[in-house]
Structure 1
């Protein structure tokens, strides 16, 4: 791993950060400091990850909340563990019921897309399995910020203002009143530098900490969620919450040029990143800015993505297996489809042959890659009164096509976009990485891993470098700093290149690598308010 490369493309250039005893990397300085506070208090990387994640529900509610989901990859004692803490659809929901009421596609807001939130259960599961400190200590920084308030950072304020304007136009029912009371108490979104706090949020975090999450799923918080759902015609009930369990899963991986790249298995779409990298492993790349490099990256990404969109779902409902999607035979067939011109990809048949990310590390050798989301910003637009619980809308990813693997059904997990990543070499941890941002995430993973392995960039360079994003058909969005000569050559190959001024849409990532001496080397996202806290 070469930490000395000096290739920069993003205008907001930062230096790579080193630390010896511990490190926390995330999109909010206050959340990074919360994680570091827990490390200094005797907690390990798992405790620091939980503290950071809980704090992010307060200081970056534009992307995640108590009512969302989370996934994690945990390296401890020489082994990698996977946690899927995403919830299922309510027991009483069904496609037929929705169609009878005139609904022809899954809505973005309101009760219909709300699945059981997994975030509090994920914190409790991580703490129980690997934590050193009690959850009351670990959630204390988040509770403090929610109680005392904090000053908004610029990018959070920008996203908050956008959400407020959108919600003001689209959310009309009384069920949405508590969102505006909680997140726009002055009749508008808070501005950069203004203080925002939520005593209800603090009380809820305190009860989650005191009961190790039980209050949320089987106590007074569950009762409040159930009552609010019944009042406004929702499908979610206490029995759905009571049935929730975080799931420990076996991570999936491929070997890419001597490194093992790890992801969480479906219902998450990390397998898309692995499929694309496996296709790309059949090519040699010497120059990042060569037209063949970018063209092949784009074509491999398309092929992987359309397969993921067709097949990724609740594992119990998938018509193909991860092994089939990642098989050598199927990969070779997909690789042969990459020609000299841009294509409009279609799924193959392998059986024939608004999110936050954080990374933590400690001197004991523990490392955590964790991601948490309410989806599409603030999620469903619903806030449970007197709790600060903003519910996600993850069920929006379900389809109402009964023949699709990802069709809505009772007690089913939807296709999920949040994916933590991890890198190992020779059965030793290199470290956690991730790029948040909806359907950009596997695309960001591919670009960051190739920047690291193929082009020898250090963590900060790998994140600073320009990004592209396939959004459908032949359409490719690129950042303003994307090289003009490459854009012109891609157009000549038939790609539809669309410059994007808003770099937030290109994902927000964090990386922590560990070298042979045990020193941590971290990079944080220049496209947002990212920060690294080292010790």
Structure 2
């Protein structure tokens, strides 16, 4: 949308007043990136925290988009469950934050069920097309021997809508059709584009436009580059195609995505562009309820989903850190960060070797999460230097993302993460449906004998993981940190910030983070050792100098530290938090 179109929609006085304020938030403003300018001073709480937590007694929601949070709160106030609120929020996020999620992607959930007093797990990830052979995938591999990041070769069946449907069938209170109405309204009437979405849609347009592996990008351009440019922050954006798709799902139920007009359109689209997804692939998809696993971290039980997700990586990292007195090392100290990074390196080598679709490979989960194995691995962490090379353990003989959370008056807490993966997704948008397909298929390995080796009808390794924590058999924390391999690293830092250093819910997320890149990948790729340590600018200069002295190659990585949302359960009330790295809002009432 052109700027003059946006301003024409405002009253004359408002349009005149809007010009300077709107212009000052644009990317070309020279005052936006001033390393000599720090945050303002808070009168209470951590000086570096962006805000305080939101408190309420009836329910709470924290998402990466203000309109999604408002939709969730409205659903809760109308008598909906936390699951109803989460579905409504996710649908709005698919409209307003398509750079992270949408109905073309997958979905994973951890949920506190107050009736059974248990943490429940849901795997809503899809499988590869059954008509796409390993031979064909290898013929189209990159020079590095990996699956391309975009195009039809990277597309797997989207699992999000069936995950919503499964959740609603078990925990929903309001009629299904009501949950999608807020998103439908925004799609049809439009709403202002938030800053992160504007930035990443523009980046996606550049990437898609120069990527010859994508079979077609005209559908993307029709939706997001209609006037020759992507929408700027604050401009009104409509997506009537997605609104119509949501209406079909609202009227036909969750299976309408997989067995009807939408599925017919998807099949025709892939036939037209030479892809492999079929109506039969969609109809065969089913969400799975799974048993989550946990480790005890200093009296707090932290939960994660088993493979094909990477949820065990958080648990493995925490199990190793259990062997050290992290609190004594000090908050934001070189020692605390160094030990965390080395635990990450060790856990991720196991991640690269053992995490895969359990229908094809039975991972040694009990061994990976055992205290004995954690102690064995922790002994490899040296306090004053880097292990030059780490490898996965020897098992005993035998066989781009959005996170949000909701809670309701009855005690249901939903920790949910949903994603299209890298760079908005595959670049492919089916004709007239208004959403983009994920590119999760990129995360298969092409190495013979690897548990994550590509196969037709198989689920790829998944990076998206919700987080949850309980204490004394009661719910404590529904939380997540979005962003590829940052997720286990970020989750571990959040738990340590709260448990080891006593930070509040908001402070734990706003605290400066580290992000390690390097080592082995589940795709079979080797990113090198010992890798690179990315530090946010807020990490103390003394700490950065000491880490460099230990031997770490340190780099900044703006935008690479994830996005945090959380709800904490207190007796008779909730606290909700979001963070300054995204455009979200946390609300409670």
Q: TM-score range by the shorter chain?
A: over 0.9
- Is 1:481 aligned to 2:531, yes or no? no
Per-residue CA deviations over 1:316-346 (Å, capped at 9, x if unaligned) read 3335321121112221111110012112322
Do the aligned partners of 2:101 and 2:420 also contact (CA within 8 Å) in 1? yes
2:522 corresponding residue in structure 1 = none
Per the TM alignment, residue 480 of structure 1 is displaced from its structure 2 partner at its CA by 1.2
For 1:99 and 1:227, the matched residues in 2 are separated by 25
* Root mean square deviation, CA, Å: 1.7
Once residues 534 and 319 of structure 1 are traced to their aligned partners in structure 2, the CA distance between those partners, rounded to angstroms, is: 41
Correspondence for 2:97: 60
CA contact (8 A) 2:217 2:428 kept: yes
User: Which residue is 2:366 aligned to?
Assistant: 323
Q: Deviations over 1:383-415 (max 9, x none)?
A: 001111310000000111122111100111101
3-state DSSP class of the match of 1:324? helix
1:524 aligns with 2:578: yes
Q: Partner of 1:218: helix, strand, or coil?
A: coil
1:108 corresponding residue in structure 2: 149
| In 2: Cα distance, 1:67 partner to 1:220 partner | 15
CA distance in 1, matches of 2:197, 2:139: 39
Of residues 18, 23, 40, the one that matches 2:55 is 18
3-state SS of 2:289 partner: strand
User: Given that residues 8 and 465 in structure 1 are in contact (C-alpha distance below 8 angstroms), is that contact kept between their aligned partners in structure 2?
Assistant: no
Instruction: Pick the aligned partner of 1:505 from 553, 560, 565.
Output: 560
1:441-520 alignment runs, 5 A limit = 441-472=487-518, 473-474=529-530, 475-500=532-557, 502=558, 504-516=559-571, 518-520=572-574
Q: Indicate which of 33, 38, 43 corresponds to 2:70.
A: 33
Aligned pair count reads 527
Match of 1:97 in 2: 136
- Whether the aligned pair in 2 keeps the contact of 1:8 and 1:464 (CA below 8 Å) is no
1:214 alignment partner, SS class: helix
Partner of 1:350: 395
User: How many Å apart are 1:352 and its aligned residue?
Assistant: 6.5
Aligned pairs for 1:174-323 (under 5 A) are: 175-286=216-327, 287-318=330-361, 320-323=363-366
In 2, Cα distance between the equivalents of 1:289 and 1:27?
26
Within 5 Å, which residues of 2 pair with 1:34-53?
A: 34-53=71-90
Whichever of the two has the greater Rg, that structure is: 2
Report what 2:465 is aligned to: 419
How big is the shift at 1:214? 1.9
1:379-394 correspondence to structure 2 within 5 Å: 379-394=425-440
Cα drift, residue 494 of structure 1 = 1.3
2:130 paired with 1:86: no
**Residue number in structure 1 paired with 2:379:** 336
Query: Residues of 2 paired with 1:415 and 1:400: CA distance?
Result: 12
Secondary structure in 2 matching 1:486: helix
Separation in structure 1 between the aligned mates of residue 217 and residue 242 of structure 2, nearest angstrom: 17
Stretch moving more, 329-338 or 97-106: 97-106
1:5-40 deviation per Cα after TM superposition (whole angstroms, max 9, x unaligned)? 944445xx2112111111100111010001011111
Q: CA deviation at 1:97?
A: 2.1
Contact 2:209 2:217 in 1 (8 A): no
Does the 8 Å CA contact 1:150/1:195 hold for their aligned counterparts?
A: yes
TM-score by length of 2: 0.87
Change (3 A) 1:125 1:364: same
> Take 2:214 and 2:489, find their aligned partners in 1: how far apart are those partners?
37
Q: Relative contact order: is structure 1 or structure 2 higher (C-alpha 8 Å, sep ≥ 6)?
A: 1
Q: Among residues 59, 70, 74, which one is paired with 2:107 in the alignment? A: 70
Give the TM-score of the pair, scaled to structure 1. Answer: 0.96
Ranges in structure 1 where 5+ consecutive residues have no aligned partner: none
What is the rounded CA distance, in whole Å, between the counterparts of 1:260 and 1:407 in structure 2? 32
